[in-house]
């Protein structure tokens, strides 16, 4: 039987991130196809195809053709155990993505070859940089006319503020797209149409091979040689250590929808990406290879199966071995808990797992006990750090639209807020409930899910708030004075913490200046 170290070493846990519509969910699908985890890829937006993308399992995602919840998928490939987390691209769900990045060891960024680097990609890269997460770039949609590869490489370097090194290089784009030359292992992947299907034919050819011109034409072969000379002049050789430190991004080119360039990406990724690494807690650093199990909840999802109103807590295992039916300490409550049916995922398809190792993601059935950030251990009192919650930027009063469904609404709001999709504040002035989100689309999703999952109807009413921030102080007198003076703008969050709801940026600035002993925080940790 494989040792704990061997099991951990063969694991690769990563997230796929991108700006909306860059082809992220399509790439995830194709990676799953290679792993044999699914047998037919789903078109994310096509209504003609009844099978929708495996990772978009919520009804609202199917209707809108976007991913609004992170989903977890796992499969085996060439002796490696792969855990993929597909994240929402839409910026209104960025918070879910930020938290997901705390649970992965590496990231693949998907960029649309025609549009280049877009705003959401820059924001996500900042989160990766904060955590020194290794990133790899997949330039997608080469079957359509794209920007010049060198222009794209320069743009990625400047916009994402990271050194790049192409490990493959395209031959043409759009109608003239011939294929990709894999620099990393010196092979040519040809883009060919057979029976109206595009297929990748992989041929091991060095650049000085006389047959190269036969496959792609003499002109293309000469141009490819010239381009690859430029690559070696302009870019330093690939250095895996720099990649692992998050300082260098290897770049691949392909077309996910045509399944082209995806195998090269996956196989290189397995070879160079890190296995699970150490994780910081408030008291010490936890090494992945420690014998004892530790892990934290980075996501909670209600109603993954609409037939059984279940909630699942996603546990990232940070060290040791997680075993079914074994007692673990839920650190926040101090209670011992055991799980009779922990599950692993292929999007919404779950299967019960007996053993999982550091790097794996396990789903735990939750009856409302867990919160994002909760830690499980074999007895040690630890709290993992760095799981962010951001101050919301949009606010509305939430009102009950059906007085007979008061209980259902209260339960629905309570559970959805535990998922971290939005934040709930209770006004100190009038006791009204205020929902704060990072983006407008979340209000639509909350309303939709309350109605379809909890049979509760809500309506929104406007409220003028510029920013919400958590306040704390060691000066009890000043804090009490502030809360008294700002009573009309005070609220408490779901965890009973004081929140200042500033109605203008001027009011916020003034408060910060006038009350120097109060800390105004725009992110909080769970």
pLDDT of 46 > 50? The answer is no
Alpha-carbon distance of 196 to 356, in angstroms, equals 42
Q: Using one digit for the tens of pLDDT, what is the confidence trace for 66-117?
A: 444 446 788 888 899 999 887 765 555 556 677 788 889 999 999 999 999 9
pTM across the whole model: 0.78
pLDDT computed for residue 47 by the predictor = 31
How would residue 36 be classed by pLDDT, with cut points 50, 70 and 90? low
**Superfamily of domain covering 14-71+85-272:** P-loop containing nucleotide triphosphate hydrolases (3.40.50.300)
Tell me if residue 186 falls in helix, strand or coil: coil
Q: Using one digit for the tens of pLDDT, what is the confidence trace for 113-172?
A: 999 998 878 878 887 888 889 999 999 999 889 999 999 999 999 999 999 999 999 988
What are the residue boundaries of the structural domains of the chain, listed by start? Answer: 14-71+85-272, 279-377, 391-525
Question: Are residues 340 and 326 in contact, defined by beta-carbon separation less than 8 angstroms?
Answer: no
Q: Using one digit for the tens of pLDDT, what is the confidence trace for 215-234?
A: 788 888 888 889 999 999 99
The answer to whether 279-377 and 391-525 have equal CATH topology is no
Question: Are residues 312 and 417 in contact, defined by beta-carbon separation less than 8 angstroms?
Answer: no
pLDDT of 456 > 90? The answer is yes
pLDDT computed for residue 307 by the predictor = 53
pLDDT computed for residue 67 by the predictor = 42
Please list, in sequence order, all residues whose beta carbon lies within 8 angstroms of the beta carbon of residue 361, skipping any fewer than 6 positions away.
13, 72, 74, 83, 85, 103, 314, 315, 316, 317, 344, 345
Fold held by 279-377: Rossmann fold (3.40.50)
Q: Using one digit for the tens of pLDDT, what is the confidence trace for 188-216?
A: 878 776 655 555 566 666 777 777 777 78
pLDDT computed for residue 418 by the predictor = 76
Average pLDDT of every residue of the chain: 83
Share of the chain above pLDDT 90, in %: 46
pLDDT computed for residue 238 by the predictor = 93
What is the CATH architecture of 391-525?
A: 2-Layer Sandwich (3.30)
Alpha-carbon distance of 333 to 310, in angstroms, equals 21
Torsional sign, CA 143, 149, 151, 154:
positive
pLDDT computed for residue 504 by the predictor = 92
Burial class (CB in 10 A: 0-12, 13-18, 19+), 36: exposed
Segment 425-442 mean pLDDT: 89
Q: Using one digit for the tens of pLDDT, what is the confidence trace for 352-389?
A: 889 999 999 998 988 778 888 899 999 999 998 877 66
């Amino acid at each position: 039987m494989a040792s704990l170290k061997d099991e951990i070493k063969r694991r690769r846990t990563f997230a796929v991130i991108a700006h909306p519509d860059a082809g992220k969910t399509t790439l995830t699908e194709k990676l799953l196809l290679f792993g044999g985890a699914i047998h037919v890829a789903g078109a994310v937006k096509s209504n003609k195809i009844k099978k929708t993308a495996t990772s978009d399992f919520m009804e609202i995602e199917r209707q809108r053709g976007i991913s609004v919840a992170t989903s977890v998928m796992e499969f085996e490939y060439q002796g490696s155990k792969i855990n993929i987390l597909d994240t929402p691209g839409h910026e209104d769900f960025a918070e879910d993505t930020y938290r997901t990045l705390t649970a992965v060891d590496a990231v693949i960024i998907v960029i649309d070859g025609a549009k280049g680097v877009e705003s959401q990609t820059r924001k996500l890269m900042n989160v990766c940089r904060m955590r020194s997460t290794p990133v790899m770039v997949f330039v997608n949609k080469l079957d359509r006319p794209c920007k010049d590869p060198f222009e794209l490489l320069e743009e990625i370097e400047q916009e994402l503020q990271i050194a790049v090194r192409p490990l493959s290089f395209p031959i043409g784009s759009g109608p003239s797209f011939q294929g990709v030359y894999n620099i990393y292992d010196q092979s040519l992947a040809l883009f060919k149409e057979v029976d109206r299907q595009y297929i990748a034919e992989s041929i091991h050819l060095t650049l000085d091979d006389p047959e190269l011109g036969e496959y792609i034409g003499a002109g293309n072969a000469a141009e490819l040689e010239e381009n690859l000379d430029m690559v070696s002049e302009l870019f330093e050789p690939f250095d895996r250590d720099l990649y692992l430190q998050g300082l260098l991004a290897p770049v691949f080119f392909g077309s996910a929808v045509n399944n082209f360039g995806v195998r090269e990406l996956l196989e290189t990724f397995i070879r160079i990406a890190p296995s699970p690494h150490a994780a910081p807690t408030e008291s010490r650093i936890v090494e992945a290879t420690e014998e004892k199990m530790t892990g934290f909840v980075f996501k909670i999802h209600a109603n993954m199966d609409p037939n059984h109103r279940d909630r699942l807590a996603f546990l990232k295992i940070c060290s040791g071995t997680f075993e079914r039916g074994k007692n673990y300490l839920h650190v926040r409550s101090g209670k011992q808990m055991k799980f009779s049916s922990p599950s692993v995922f292929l999007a919404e398809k779950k299967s019960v797992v007996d053993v999982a190792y550091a790097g794996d993601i396990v789903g735990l059935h939750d009856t409302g006990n867990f919160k994002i950030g909760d830690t499980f251990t074999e007895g040690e009192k630890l709290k993992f750090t760095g799981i962010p919650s951001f101050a919301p930027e949009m606010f509305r009063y939430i009102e009950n639209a059906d007085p007979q469904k008061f209980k259902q609404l209260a339960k629905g709001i309570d559970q959805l807020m535990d998922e971290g999709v939005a934040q709930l504040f209770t006004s100190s002035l009038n006791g009204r409930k205020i929902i704060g989100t990072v983006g407008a689309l979340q209000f639509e999703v909350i309303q939709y899910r309350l109605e379809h999952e909890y049979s509760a109807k809500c309506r929104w009413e406007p409220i003028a708030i510029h920013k919400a921030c958590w306040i704390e102080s060691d000066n009890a007198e000043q804090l009490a004075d502030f809360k008294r003076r700002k009573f009309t703008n005070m609220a408490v969050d779901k965890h009973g913490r004081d929140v200042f709801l500033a109605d203008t940026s001027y009011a916020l600035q003034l408060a910060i200046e006038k009350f120097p002993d109060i800390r105004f925080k725009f992110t909080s940790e769970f």
